[in-house]
Structure 1
Amino acid sequence: MIQEFKAFIARGNVMDMAVGIIVGAAFTAIVSSLVGDIINPVIALFTGGIDFSGWFYALDGGEYVSLSEAKEAGAPVFAIGSFIMAVINFFIVAFAVFMLVKMVNRLRAVAEKPQDVAPTVPAGPSELDILIEIRDALRK
């Protein structure tokens, strides 16, 4: 069983997946900072600072000033605004990742493009052409 486990771990795709997960975890911090510190403030500037996270509905019918107050009181709530903000943040993150992948693919295509390909020298006559010329010369 230990040998099977070693064979499983030593496979290339498992190691690639592990590297992907580690890089993804590190990348999460970068994307979260991009969304929270750069993109959301710009969106807030254009929307007048609308924050959907304060939108909620208390299922017990109580009147609460804020979502945190309702949660402290133990009231069951539909946190509609938090859900809306999560969806908006998802689309922002998905677009940022899309743009990053697009940029990486473009850089990869430039890196893989053959550089300064030597001009091809036209090939001389083939062996068959030379034999045909010799035959024709011998007939004359």
Structure 2
Amino acid sequence: MAFFKDFKTFLMKGDIVALATAVVIGAAFKTIIDSLVKDVITPIIGVLTGGTDFTKKFISLDGEHYASLEVAREAKAAVLTYGNLIQAIINFIIIGLFIFLFLRAYEKTKKKEDPKPVAAPKGPTQEELLTEIRDELKRQNS
């Protein structure tokens, strides 16, 4: 029974709850970014590159020429789909850019919300300390 109590305590720690929250929000954020890349950015890149769909780019390793990637796969040909790598790199750069912009905006708002630093508690002045030292030396000498 102590095992379950310890396990429940572990799960309810603030760190675990914060981590779970971050994972859920991260998954939602990923969905938004994926849609932005797939539905907005990739078509724009396609227009800029003359309608090129990188995911359809491939090299057949058997020396045959295939009309499309689908035909090559149906023929069970060994293919290097280098276009998928290019598309993954483009997606990575775009996602990295948006995360950078998001975190940069977050940091700017965070700096504005920082409270004024609290003044250090005032201690004795130099004169008060010297007076205490003098009085202590007098007590020791008498």
For Structure 1 versus Structure 2, the TM-score category normalised by the shorter chain is 0.7 to 0.9
List gaps (5 residues or longer) in structure 2: 117-124, 128-142
Cα displacement (A) at 1:19:
0.4
Counterpart for residue 23 of structure 2? 21
Deviations 1:112-134 (A, max 9, x none): 355xxxxxxxxxxx9x8xxxxxx
Which residues of 2 match residues 1-140 of structure 1 at below 5 A?
Answer: 1-112=3-114
Cα displacement (A) at 1:12:
1.3
Query: Bigger CA drift: 39-48 or 97-106?
Result: 39-48
Cα displacement (A) at 1:75:
1.7
Q: How many residue pairs end up in the alignment?
A: 116
SS of aligned partner of 1:53: helix
Query: Bigger CA drift: 78-87 or 64-73?
Result: 64-73
Distance 1:68 1:57 in 2: 12
Distance 1:58 1:109 in 2: 54
* Structure 1 stretches of at least 4 aligned residues deviating more than 3 Å after TM superposition: none
Query: Bigger CA drift: 69-78 or 82-91?
Result: 69-78
Cα displacement (A) at 1:62:
2.7
Counterpart for residue 121 of structure 2? none
